[in-house]
Amino acid sequence: MKILNERSEVPITKDTEEEGLIPSAWRPVLTQIVDAFVRHDYCLSDGVPGVAPVLEETAAQIERYIKNYGATLIQLPKESWNTSVCIWMGDRWDALIDLWTAEEGSSDLVLQVRISEISDGYVMTVYMVYVP
């Protein structure tokens, strides 16, 4: 596994065969999503630039899953980027972000996000939180 230092840049690649690390350009937006979940804002009611509105059903699933998991979600540490991955699916990327809790540190929970190209960048769609 490649360990990144703070200055490393991870490019955006379209590889359908191999998972890759989360591109550096996407990390701030993904961090904002998790920060909202830490505040129990599963609908992203304040909005996050570059992220599609979260469906009520999806927000309810995320809230229920985190509550049932039984641990307190915390902000993503830099170490999360060493294990979080994405893969090109032919028309979008699927990304799995390893989530952390106060009780465990690195937890079994992941955030799944779908990332699509649009004319002026990317749009992320929060898909679910679960234990793979």
3-class DSSP state of 80? helix
pLDDT of residue 120: 87
- Examine residue 13 and state whether it is found in any structural domain, yes or no: no
- Examine residue 8 and state whether it is found in any structural domain, yes or no: no
* Total tally of structural domains belonging to the chain: 1
- Examine residue 92 and state whether it is found in any structural domain, yes or no: yes
Range of the domain at 75: 20-130
Q: What is the CA radius of gyration of the chain?
A: 14
- Examine residue 109 and state whether it is found in any structural domain, yes or no: yes
- Examine residue 4 and state whether it is found in any structural domain, yes or no: no
Contacts of 30 (CB under 8 A, 6+ apart): 22, 76, 95, 97, 111, 113, 124
CB-based contact 101:110 (threshold 8 Å): no
pLDDT of residue 12: 84
Closest Cα partner for 82 from 93, 98, 100, 68?
Answer: 98
pLDDT of residue 7: 45
**The model's pTM:** 0.91
- Examine residue 35 and state whether it is found in any structural domain, yes or no: yes
Q: Over its length of 132 residues, how does the chain's per-residue pLDDT go in tens digits? A: 333 344 457 878 888 899 999 999 999 999 999 999 999 999 999 999 999 999 999 999 999 999 999 999 999 999 999 999 999 999 999 999 999 999 999 999 999 999 999 988 899 999 999 999
Cα(99)–Cα(80) distance, rounded to whole angstroms? 7
pLDDT of residue 77: 97
- Examine residue 41 and state whether it is found in any structural domain, yes or no: yes
- Examine residue 125 and state whether it is found in any structural domain, yes or no: yes
